[in-house]
Amino acid sequence: MKITGVELRRVELPLVSPFRTSFAVEHSRNALLVRVVTPGAEGWGECVSIDEPVYSSEYTDGAIDVLRRFLIPAVTNGDDVTAVAVAPRLAHIKGHRMAKAALEAAVLDAELRSAGMSLASRLGGTATSVPVGVSVGIKDDIGALLDEVSGYLESGYGRIKLKIQPGWDVEPVAAVRDRWGPRLPLQVDANTAYTPADLRHLTRLDEYDLLLIEQPFDEEDIASHARLRQISTTPVCLDESILSAAGAADAITRGAVDIVNIKPGRVGGYLEAARIHDVCAAHGIPVWCGGMLETGIGRAANLALASLPGFTLPGDISSSARYFHTDITEPFVAQDGRMTVPTGPGIGVTPLTDALAALTTWSEWITGP
């Protein structure tokens, strides 16, 4: 497949309400989209980086720079390229997995559209719909938290994830459990907010029968996650620590993980995400698909990934309306806690022309050789 050009485009989607985690408060989703144009079709990918390097070392201005100067030339120069060949062509560039994932996704989308194959089929997906949950950010008070959780449950979400940090952990979990009881599937996500000194404190969450605690410690601190598994009854889920299939295998071997959250952007793309799924399945480790406030472009691709058989836990792939007043694609809607997997060629969706134009804040066209 010959790439004739690549477009980088930034879009800004205001959030319905601010989304607060242990590392930032987001008021809008400033997404970077990658459009790959070939003689047969064009494909779309979404870079999940955010504006500042606080979730990971990547940030959107840096992603634009590395795409423009290094990654795009590596795939547009020379012979035709396939999606499988993208990662090897980019291997000499260290890191920048989110930028690489967006470019690979766009190439993969174009390739599959030309072939008339869906992304779910290409990855090995089997489900036609997948269970989805909702992520609830840190609130100013317990009352606001309970009101928001109540609204999501009334909307049909079957699983609730609470963002936590030191000072906002046991109390909000206890309040939600007290209100809705032990039958509500409930999990927490710390986004690396704790240190080894908090190990004993985190065991206080055991009495609330959580599905899991996600990434309490620094991404490089595998030992503390392994130690928490030894002293706690709450399953430990790794997110930021898992950057590749090899990394997943290492964490499993070291006894540091019960469950893995797979975010395609974090691991370098959907092909590597599928490999992580395969490694975890071989070791009996459940996986689920995380979210990064994606637009409909990333949301569609995440649904395709979540259709693989090892994704047995609800993913963070909420309805478009959970985050945005207006999406750049037709909105995704969860019904009875499930969402339909797109079946059209590629990711199965394309941006709406008017919405894309209205929400675009910058674009650049890079011509192939």
Which positions are annotated as active-site residues?
163, 263
Separation between Cα atoms, residue 98 and residue 237, nearest integer Å? 21
Q: From residue 367, give the alpha-carbon distance in Å to each of 4, 124, 309.
A: 6, 33, 39
Classify burial at 178, counting beta carbons within 10 Å of its beta carbon; exposed 0-12, middle 13-18, buried 19 or more. Answer: exposed
Q: With contact defined as beta carbons under 8 Å apart, do 290 and 303 qualify?
A: no
Question: Encoding tokens for residue 18?
Answer: 């601010």
Residues whose CB falls within 8 Å of the CB of residue 178, separated by 6 or more in sequence, listed in order? none
Separation between Cα atoms, residue 9 and residue 285, nearest integer Å? 37
30: β partners: 12
Scored b (16 or more CB within 10 A) or e, 34-49 reads bbbbbeebbbbbbbbb
